[in-house]
Homo-oligomer: A and B are copies of this chain.
Amino acid sequence: MKATLQPGLTNRLTKYLRTTQQLIEEGRDAVSSKELGEYTGINPVQVRRDLNAIDFSGTRGVGYQAHDLVEAVRNILGLRQTYNLALVGAGNLGAAIASSAMLPKRGFIIHDVFDNDPKKIGRTVGNVVVKHIDELEKSVAEADEIIGIIATPASAAQEVAERMVKAGIKVILNYTDVLLHVPPGIETHRIDPTAQLMHTLYYLTQVEEEEKSERE
């Protein structure tokens, strides 16, 4: 049996994966632990230890083979298949998510888009035709969707989440700022840009204050 990896480790592996994929797009062939550390905010020593932990070796003086690294991490994390996603909300945000290349590039296909506004039904966003939310359950079953994205106004988020759960969705990506109440076993993730801002601003103002007191 394959051992289950530590949460911290898998979390960091996804960061190396995404960073390395981007560096490959820039034409890079090898990446160093120092670089991965800079882009991910993780200590280079930790990067080397992590890659070691999954039995992936680099070459000294050069770094890690970017392509092999991506393959190794994808294998370890079991990210070889693609996933169909259900997106609810065909407004500006939903349209932006559906048209972006980011998700498909990583194996996540926006397979269905739903809304409750009759004016939006039948329109095309990205490559898919917007359906009425009442068809959610049927589509989820047909396309074997376990991941749902909520890109509705905040006021609709909880209700949409409940319909998703009822339809069989297991993982919900929530672009609104409401706290979703879901049954155990359902994973929710909020996309919250302020999280990183608040954290960064704290250190930014700390540095400013230190500089101020040094001048005194």
Once the chains are docked, how many angstroms separate the CA of A24 from the CA of B174? 19
Enumerate chain B residues within 8 angstroms of A78, measured Cβ to Cβ.
Answer: 201-202, 205-206
Whether the pair A105, B202 counts as a contact (CB closer than 8 A) is no
Assess the A17–B79 pair: CB atoms within 8 A. Answer: no
Whether A197 contacts B147 by the Cβ 8 Å rule is yes
Task: Report how many copies the assembly holds.
Answer: 2
Contact residues of A: prevailing secondary structure:
helix
Does A156 make an interface contact (CB < 8 A)?
A: no
Bound CA span A178–B209, Å: 33
- A166 close to B (CB within 8 Å): no
Note all chain B residues with C-beta closer than 8 A to A18: 177, 192, 194-195
Which residues of chain A from 94 to 136 have any CB-CB distance to chain B below 8 Å in the complex? 95-96, 99-103, 105-106, 108
Binding site for B on A (CB under 8 A): 1-2, 4-5, 7, 10-11, 14-15, 17-19, 22-23, 26, 39, 77-79, 83, 91-93, 95-96, 99-103, 105-106, 108, 146-147, 149, 154, 170-171, 173, 176-179, 187, 189, 191-206, 209, 213
